[in-house]
C-alpha cells in the first residue's frame, strides 16, 4: 500500500496497480521470497565479476562497493515521457543559451535584468578564463543530468541541474543489461525503449562539436583523472562504448595551440576531448598550477579553436543552485515559452527577506550549498539535530550567497525489495540529455532509491540504490520515431 | 606623454626543459587616459603567438615551446601616449557605496581574494582612517593609500608573491605588489570597491629603478584603483605615495596580482631557472613637456570639495 501523503508510482490512491505497471506487478507477485533472493545473488555475482562498483569518499569501510540495483523497475509511459522529453529539451536549450550569453554573448540576461550581474560574478562556477572562448553550436552542456522528483501530487519538478560532469549513465546501461539477463520474462509484451545506443549518441554529439576546420573524421578522446577517481569505471566504460581512446593528462601535449596524444606511433592530433576532470585541474597554466591531472596549454588551444572540450569550461555558473532559482525566468527570456517542468520552491538566502523567513523555519526546510553536487553538505531540516541546525544557521549568516533553501519535496515512492518483501521506498530520477547537432534525451535515466525506510536521501554516496528505468514505446508504433 | 617601453624577461635553465606554456600580459591598455600606438612581442626560441583579450580587458599573448631548451627570452615593445587622469570631486557621500546598482556592478571588487585577505586589525585600521568624513569617499581612498605608503618600507626581495598581507604587514617591508594588495584590501574592508593594477612607471625618482636622461630602467609596477560612485576609478600609487599620472602606463587590472601577472607559465623537466627581467622606458617627447612634478600626498591629486552649485552645474 502507498504511504499516505506521498505519490506512489505503481499504485493509485485507492490501492489499485496503475495500468502501465500491471504486467510487471503481476510478474513480481508470482515470485517467492526465495526466488527474489536468488535473483539478487545472481545480480551481485554478475556486478562483482564485471567490477561494477562505486566509491564512497570519506567512508571508513572499504571505499569500493558493489552497485546496488533494486529489481523492481521504474516504468514511465509514453505520454508522460513525451512531456518530460519536451521539458528537459526546453530547459537544456535555455541553459545552453544562458551559458553562451554569459561567456561569448552580450550578457543579455544581465543587461535586461533577468539575473543580477553579481549572481554571475559571485558564482564559484563562473570561470573568467572561459570568457570569449566560443563553443561550436553553443553546445556547452554536451551531457547534462537533470535531477527530477515527483511531489505529493505526482507533478514532476526539477530539483537540480548537473551541467559539469554528470555521472551515472554507465549505471543506466549496466542496469539494463543486468535486468535483461535476470528478468527476461518481465520484459515480455512491453516495448521498453532501448538505452544501449548511448555510446553512439554521445560519440555523434562529440563529433558534432569538433572544430569546423578538422574535417569530417575528428578524433575524440575521453580524458580521465585516473583510476583513483570514483567514476573511473564510467570513464573507461564510455571510452569503450564509443571505441575511442581513454587518456590521462600526461598522454596529451599541446604544440602550437594544437592538442596531440602520445601514441606508440608518435603524436596523433586530437579534435574533441570529453573530459571528466573538473575545470580547475584542466590546465595548470591558467588554473591550479600544481595540478598534474591536466594538460598545460589546453585552454589556449581551446581558445584558438583547434580543439573542443566537452562539457565546456565554466558550466558551473549554470548549475549553481542560486542560478537554478532563475532558470524558469531564463526559459521565458531566451525561448519565450512557459517552463514545462517547474522548479521546487526555492529561497535565495542572500535576499534578506527570504533569509529571515528561512532562518525562522530552518527545521522545516532543506538547505543546500550552491556549488556542491552528490548530496554533499545538504541539511534536511525535519531530520536535523539542533546542533546541525545551529551550525548551518551560522554558515548561512556568514556566507548567504553560498546557500539556498527549498521546501521539502515529498519524493514519490515505488516498491523496493527490503529483504523479505517489497515495500514503498522514495525515488528520484536523473535523465541524461545530450546536446550536439540537436538535443537528445536518453529514454529513462538513472532512478535512484532511498533504501532505508522513510529516508529521502537517494545519493549512492549516502546509502542509496538504483532501479532500471523503463520508458514504454509509443502505444501507436506508427507515431514513434 | 609619449613613451616607448621595452619589456624583457629571460629565463636561463641549468638543464634543458621542455613543453613550456606561457602567458604574457605586458601590453599597455587603451583607455580614456592612454592610447596604444604600437605593440610587438617576440620570443626566443621562436614560437607561434595566440593573442586575445581576457575577461578583464587585458591583452594576453600565449605561446608554447615544445622542444628542449635551456633559455627562454620574451621581449615586448610598446609605444604609448598618456595623459593625466581627470580630477575627482571630493564630495561623494559614503552612503552612495551602498547603492544596489553600484554594489551589483562591483561585487567582485569587494571580496577578499587570495592576495587581499584582510583580518580584523586591518579592517579596524581602515575604518579609523576613513570614518572622519562621511561625505568623502575620495578622501577615504587617498587616506588608505597614504597609510599603505607609511606602513611599508620599500625593500625588494623581502616578500614573495602569494604571501598574505597580514604577514607582510608584520614584517613592514615589501614591493609595489604588496603596497597595492594592502591598499586594495583596506579599501574593500570599508566597502570601497578596489582593484589591483599592473603597469609601468616612467619616473626619475621612482624607488624601483634608475634614470639616465630620458631612459629609465625599472621593473613592472603595480598600483590601485578605487571605484568612486558617479565618477569612475580613482588611481593611486601607494608605493611612491604618488597620484597616478601621465608617467604611469597601465597594462591591466583584476581582483589581485593573480588576474594580471606579467608572465606566468609552466614547463616540464628538472631544470631550475635563473631569471633576468628588465623594463626600459624611453621618453619620446622630452622637449615639449616638463616632467610631471611628484606630489607629496595622494590627496593632493584630488581637487578641493566642490560647492553644491558647482556640482549642479556639472550635472547640467
Per-residue pLDDT of chain A in tens (481 residues, 90 and over written 9): 678 889 999 999 899 999 999 999 999 999 999 999 999 999 988 888 887 776 665 555 556 677 889 999 999 999 999 999 999 999 999 999 999 999 999 999 999 999 999 999 999 999 999 999 999 999 999 999 999 999 999 999 999 999 999 999 999 999 999 999 998 887 877 899 999 999 999 999 999 999 998 888 999 999 999 998 888 989 999 999 999 999 999 999 999 999 999 999 999 999 999 999 999 999 999 998 888 899 999 999 999 999 999 999 999 999 999 999 999 999 999 999 999 999 999 999 999 999 999 999 999 999 999 988 767 889 999 989 999 999 999 999 999 999 999 999 889 999 999 888 899 999 999 999 999 999 999 999 999 999 888 888 787 667 789 999 999 986 554 444 4
B22 interaction partners in chain A (CB closer than 8 Å):
285
In the numeric block, which cell numbers belong to residue A39?
Answer: 535473483
Check: CB of residue A306 under 8 Å from CB of residue A260.
no
* Structural domain contains residue B142: yes
In a domain, B314, yes or no: no
Q: Where in chain A is the domain with CATH 3.40.50.11290?
A: 212-306
Beta-carbon separation of B66 and A296 below 8 A:
no
3-state secondary structure chain B: CEEEEEEEEEEEEEEEEEEEEEEECCCCCCCCCEEEEEEEEEEECCCCCEEEECCCCCEEEEEEECCCEEEEEEEEEEEEEECCCCCCCCCECHHHHHCHHHHHHCHHHCCCCCCCCCCHHHHHHHHHHHCCCCCEHHHHHHHHHHHHHHHCEECCCCCCCCCCHHHHHHHCEECHHHHHHHHHHHHHHCCCCEEEEEEEECCCCCCCCEEECCEEEECCEEEEEEEECCCEEEEEECCCCEECCCCEEEEEEECCHHHCCCEEEEEECCCCEEEEEEEEEEECCCCCCCCCCCCCCHHHHCCCCCCHHHHHHHHC
Separation between Cα atoms, residue A238 and residue B134, nearest integer Å = 62
Give the best residue of A256, A262, A307 to mutate against chain B (max B CB count within 10 A).
A256
A415 is written with which cell numbers? Answer: 516498491
Separation between Cα atoms, residue A238 and residue B133, nearest integer Å: 64
**Distance (Å) from the C-alpha of residue A195 to the closest C-alpha of chain B?**
41
The reply to whether B68 and B200 lie within a common domain is no
Question: Is residue B311 domain-resident?
Answer: no
Q: Does B269 contact A at CB distance below 8 Å?
A: no
User: A118 and B104: CB-CB below 8 Å?
Assistant: yes
Give the pLDDT confidence of B174-224 residue by residue, as tens digits. Answer: 999 999 999 999 999 999 999 999 999 987 655 555 555 678 888 899 999
Q: How far apart are CA A228 and CA A205, in angstroms?
A: 27
Q: How far is CA A335 from CA A145, A434, A440, B150, in A?
A: 21, 19, 18, 57
- How many structural domains does chain B have? 2
- For residue B315, is it within any domain? no
Answer yes or no: do B19 and A296 touch at CB < 8 A: yes
| Model ipTM value | 0.90
In a shared domain, residues B105 and B60: no
Please tell me whether residues B100 and B247 are part of one structural domain: yes
Cell representation of residue A157? 519538478
Q: Do B266 and A253 touch (CB under 8 A)?
A: no
Which cell is A141 given?
Answer: 552542456
Q: Do B21 and A297 touch (CB under 8 A)?
A: yes
CATH 3.30.1490.270 location in chain A:
345-408
Nearest to B21 among A128, A132, A285 (CB): A285
CB of A63 less than 8 A from some CB of B? no
Contact B137, B93 (CB under 8 A): yes
Those residues with Cβ within 8 angstroms of residue A2's Cβ, 6 or more apart along the chain or in another chain: A8, A11, A13, A15, A413, A424
Query: Are residues B39 and B148 located together in one domain of the fold?
Result: no
Among residues A195, A192, A191, A190, the alpha carbon closest in space to that of A174 is found at A195
Q: To 10 degrees, what angle do helices A327-335 and A78-103 make?
A: 80
| Residue B120 falls inside a structural domain | yes
* CATH code for the domain defined by A212-306: 3.40.50.11290
The answer to whether the Cβ–Cβ distance between A286 and B103 falls below 8 Å is: no
> In terms of domains, do B166 and B74 share one?
no
Say if B51 is an interface residue toward chain A (CB within 8 Å).
Answer: no
Rounded to a whole number of angstroms, the distance from the CA of B21 to the nearest CA of chain A is: 6
Distances (CA, A) of B293 to A56, A138, B52, B83: 66, 53, 36, 14
List Cβ neighbours of B100 (8 Å cut-off, separation of 6 or more).
none
| Chain centre to alpha carbon of residue A149 | 13
Q: Are residues B76 and B225 in the same domain?
A: no
Distance CA B223, CA B240 (A): 9
Q: Which of A116, A286, A297 lies nearest to residue B104, judging by beta carbons? A: A116
The nearest CA of chain B is from the CA of A273 a distance in Å of 19
Q: In terms of CA atoms, which chain B residue is nearest residue A124?
A: B108
Location of C-alpha cell 621618453:
B283
User: B24 and B101: one domain?
Assistant: no
Among B112, B206, B200, CA closest to B156: B206
Of A128, A131, A300, the CB nearest to B62: A300
| Structural domain A345-408, CATH architecture | 2-Layer Sandwich (3.30)
Domain around B193 = 94-258+290-304
- Using alpha carbons, select from B257, B199, B222, B245 the residue that is nearest to residue B86: B245
Cα–Cα distance between A84 and B175 in angstroms, integer? 59
> Between A117, A256, A300, which is nearest B104 by CB?
A117
Judged by a CB distance cut-off of 8 A, whether residue B114 touches chain A is: no
CATH of the domain at B138: 3.10.620.30
Partner-chain residue, chosen from A118, A257, A285, that has the shortest CB–CB distance to B265: A285
Amino acid at each position: 500500500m502507498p504511504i499516505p501523503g506521498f505519490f506512489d508510482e505503481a499504485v493509485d490512491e485507492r490501492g489499485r496497480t496503475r495500468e502501465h505497471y500491471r504486467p510487471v506487478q503481476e510478474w513480481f507477485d508470482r515470485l517467492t521470497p526465495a526466488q527474489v533472493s536468488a535473483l539478487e545473488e545472481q545480480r551481485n555475482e554478475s556486478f562483482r565479476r564485471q567490477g561494477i562498483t562505486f566509491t564512497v569518499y570519506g567512508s571508513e569501510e572499504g571505499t569500493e562497493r558493489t552497485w546496488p540495483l533494486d529489481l523492481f523497475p521504474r516504468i514511465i509511459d509514453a505520454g508522460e515521457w513525451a512531456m518530460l522529453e519536451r521539458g528537459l529539451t526546453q530547459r537544456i536549450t535555455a541553459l545552453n543559451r544562458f551559458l553562451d550569453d554569459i561567456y561569448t554573448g552580450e550578457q543579455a540576461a544581465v543587461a535586461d535584468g533577468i539575473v543580477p550581474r553579481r549572481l554571475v560574478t559571485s558564482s564559484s562556477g563562473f570561470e573568467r578564463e572561459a570568457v570569449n572562448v566560443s563553443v561550436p553550436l553553443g553546445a556547452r552542456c554536451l551531457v547534462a543530468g537533470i535531477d527530477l522528483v515527483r511531489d505529493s501530487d505526482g507533478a514532476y519538478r526539477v530539483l537540480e541541474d548537473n551541467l559539469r560532469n554528470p555521472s551515472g549513465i554507465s549505471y543506466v546501461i549496466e542496469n539494463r543489461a543486468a535486468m535483461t539477463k535476470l528478468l527476461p520474462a518481465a520484459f515480455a509484451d512491453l516495448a521498453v525503449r532501448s538505452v544501449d545506443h548511448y555510446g553512439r549518441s554521445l560519440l555523434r554529439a562529440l563529433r558534432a562539436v569538433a572544430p569546423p576546420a578538422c574535417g569530417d573524421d575528428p578524433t575524440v578522446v575521453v580524458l580521465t583523472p585516473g583510476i583513483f577517481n570514483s567514476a573511473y569505471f564510467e570513464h573507461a566504460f564510455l571510452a569503450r562504448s564509443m571505441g575511442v581512446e581513454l587518456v590521462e593528462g600526461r598522454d596529451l601535449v599541446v604544440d602550437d595551440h594544437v592538442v596531440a596524444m602520445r601514441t606508440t606511433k608518435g603524436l596523433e592530433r586530437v579534435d574533441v576531448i570529453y573530459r571528466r576532470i573538473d575545470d580547475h585541474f584542466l590546465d595548470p597554466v591558467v588554473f591550479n598550477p600544481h595540478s598534474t591531472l591536466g594538460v598545460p596549454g589546453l585552454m589556449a588551444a581551446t581558445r584558438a579553436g583547434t580543439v573542443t572540450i566537452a562539457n565546456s569550461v565554466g558550466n558551473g555558473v549554470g548549475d549553481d543552485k542560486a542560478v537554478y532559482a532563475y532558470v524558469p525566468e531564463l526559459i521565458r527570456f531566451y525561448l519565450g515559452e512557459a517552463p514545462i517542468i517547474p522548479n521546487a520552491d526555492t529561497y535565495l538566502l542572500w535576499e534578506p527577506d527570504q533569509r529571515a523567513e528561512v532562518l525562522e523555519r530552518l527545521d522545516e526546510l532543506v538547505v543546500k550549498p550552491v556549488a556542491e553536487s552528490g548530496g554533499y553538505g545538504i541539511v534536511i531540516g525535519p531530520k536535523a539535530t539542533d546542533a546541525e541546525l545551529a551550525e548551518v544557521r551560522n554558515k548561512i549568516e556568514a556566507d548567504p550567497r553560498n546557500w539556498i533553501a527549498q521546501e521539502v519535496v515529498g519524493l514519490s515512492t515505488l516498491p523496493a525489495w527490503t529483504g523479505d518483501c517489497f515495500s514503498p521506498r522514495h525515488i528520484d530520477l536523473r535523465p541524461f540529455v545530450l546536446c550536439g547537432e540537436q538535443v537528445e534525451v536518453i529514454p529513462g535515466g538513472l532512478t535512484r532509491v532511498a533504501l532505508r525506510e522513510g529516508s529521502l536521501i537517494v545519493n549512492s554516496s549516502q546509502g542509496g540504490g538504483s532501479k532500471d528505468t523503463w520508458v514504454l514505446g509509443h502505444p501507436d508504433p506508427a507515431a514513434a520515431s | 606623454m609619449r613613451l616607448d617601453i621595452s619589456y624583457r624577461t629571460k629565463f636561463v635553465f641549468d638543464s634543458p626543459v621542455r613543453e613550456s606554456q606561457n602567458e604574457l600580459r605586458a601590453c599597455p591598455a587603451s583607455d580614456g587616459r592612454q592610447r596604444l600606438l604600437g605593440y610587438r612581442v617576440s620570443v626566443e626560441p621562436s614560437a607561434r603567438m595566440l593573442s586575445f583579450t581576457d575577461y578583464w580587458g587585458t591583452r594576453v599573448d600565449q605561446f608554447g615551446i615544445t622542444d628542449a631548451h635551456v633559455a627562454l627570452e620574451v621581449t615586448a615593445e610598446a609605444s604609448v601616449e598618456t595623459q593625466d587622469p581627470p580630477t575627482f570631486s571630493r564630495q561623494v557621500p559614503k552612503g552612495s557605496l551602498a547603492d544596489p546598482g553600484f554594489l551589483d556592478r562591483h561585487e567582485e571588487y569587494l571580496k577578499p581574494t587570495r592576495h587581499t585577505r584582510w583580518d580584523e586589525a586591518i579592517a579596524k585600521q581602515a575604518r579609523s582612517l576613513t570614518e572622519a568624513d562621511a561625505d568623502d569617499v575620495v578622501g577615504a581612498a587617498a587616506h588608505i593609500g597614504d597609510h599603505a605608503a607609511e606602513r611599508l618600507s620599500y625593500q625588494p626581495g623581502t616578500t614573495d608573491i602569494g604571501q598574505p598581507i597580514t604577514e607582510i604587514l608584520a614584517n613592514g617591508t615589501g614591493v609595489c605588489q604588496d603596497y597595492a594588495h594592502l591598499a586594495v584590501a583596506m579599501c574593500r574592508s570599508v566597502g570601497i570597491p578596489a582593484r589591483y593594477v599592473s603597469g609601468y612607471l616612467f619616473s626619475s625618482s621612482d624607488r624601483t629603478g634608475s634614470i639616465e636622461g630620458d631612459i629609465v630602467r625599472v621593473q613592472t609596477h603595480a598600483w590601485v584603483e578605487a571605484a568612486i560612485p558617479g565618477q569612475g576609478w580613482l588611481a593611486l600609487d601607494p608605493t611612491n605615495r604618488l597620484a597616478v599620472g601621465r608617467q604611469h602606463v597601465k597594462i591591466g587590472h583584476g581582483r589581485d596580482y593573480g588576474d594580471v601577472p606579467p608572465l606566468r607559465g609552466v614547463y616540464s623537466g628538472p631544470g631550475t631557472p635563473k631569471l633576468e627581467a628588465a623594463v626600459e622606458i624611453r621618453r619620446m617627447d622630452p622637449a615639449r613637456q616638463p616632467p610631471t612634478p611628484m606630489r607629496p600626498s595622494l590627496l593632493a591629486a584630488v581637487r578641493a570639495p566642490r560647492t553644491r552649485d558647482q556640482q549642479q552645474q556639472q550635472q547640467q
